[in-house]
């Protein structure tokens, strides 16, 4: 029960932030959460599942007796392709989420500015207090979208480099003999 009271101010701060940013901020949060779920899945894959796949590929290749025929070349190409496809899974979706975050931030800017102009049209003046809500709804989602995109860009680049290195590694490991 004491834990609830400990986290209550933190949860109130988050709630206030989401109210300050408007409904677009909730969409940015969902896209960011989805993007990070995919990133964490890829990191866990490289930590566990990828090593198992590499081991299976090596075992399959080492069990062969023929390393120089046309068929051996095709099998090697298929193994490299499978490892590469598994390494690059969901990377395009992560990149899409990265690209979507700043666009959603821009949408938040536009909706916030529309709110500012609505207040100006209704009140007939440029009262700063009445416009403050719209200005915050214009700036907070933009900032949130950019921060989410920056974190996603860094991790996306890391994962792409990791996938490329793993593809090159398996290609170097599966030795083919000249005919």
* Exposed e or buried b per residue across 42-65, where buried means at least 16 C-beta atoms within 10 angstroms of its C-beta: beebeeeebeebbeebeeebeeee
CA atoms within 13 A on the CB side of 87: 22
pLDDT at 141: 85
Tell whether the model's pLDDT for residue 114 goes beyond 90: no
Could you tell me the pLDDT band of residue 137, with boundaries at 50, 70 and 90? confident
Q: Cα(142)–Cα(43) distance, rounded to whole angstroms?
A: 28
The mean pLDDT value for 63-89 works out to 85
Q: What is the mean pLDDT of the chain?
A: 83
Three-state SS at 108: helix
Distances, alpha carbon 138 to alpha carbons 24, 46, 72, 111, in Å:
10, 39, 60, 7
């Amino acid at each position: 029960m004491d834990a609830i009271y400990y986290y209550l101010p933190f949860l109130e701060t988050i709630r206030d932030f989401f109210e300050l940013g408007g409904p677009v901020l909730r969409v940015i949060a969902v896209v960011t959460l989805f993007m990070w779920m995919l990133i964490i899945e890829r990191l866990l894959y490289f930590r566990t599942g990828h090593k198992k796949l590499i081991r299976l590929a090596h075992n399959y290749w080492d069990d062969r007796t023929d390393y120089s025929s046309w068929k051996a070349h095709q099998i090697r190409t298929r193994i490299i392709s499978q490892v590469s496809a598994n390494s690059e899974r969901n990377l395009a979706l992560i990149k899409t989420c990265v690209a979507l975050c700043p666009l959603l931030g821009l949408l938040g800017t536009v909706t916030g500015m529309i709110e500012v102009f609505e207040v100006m049209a209704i009140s007939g003046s440029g009262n700063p207090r009445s416009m403050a809500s719209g200005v915050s709804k214009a700036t907070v989602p933009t900032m949130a979208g950019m921060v989410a995109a920056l974190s996603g860009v860094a991790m996306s680049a890391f994962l792409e480099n990791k996938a490329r290195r793993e593809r090159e590694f398996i290609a170097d490991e599966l030795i083919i003999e000249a005919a």
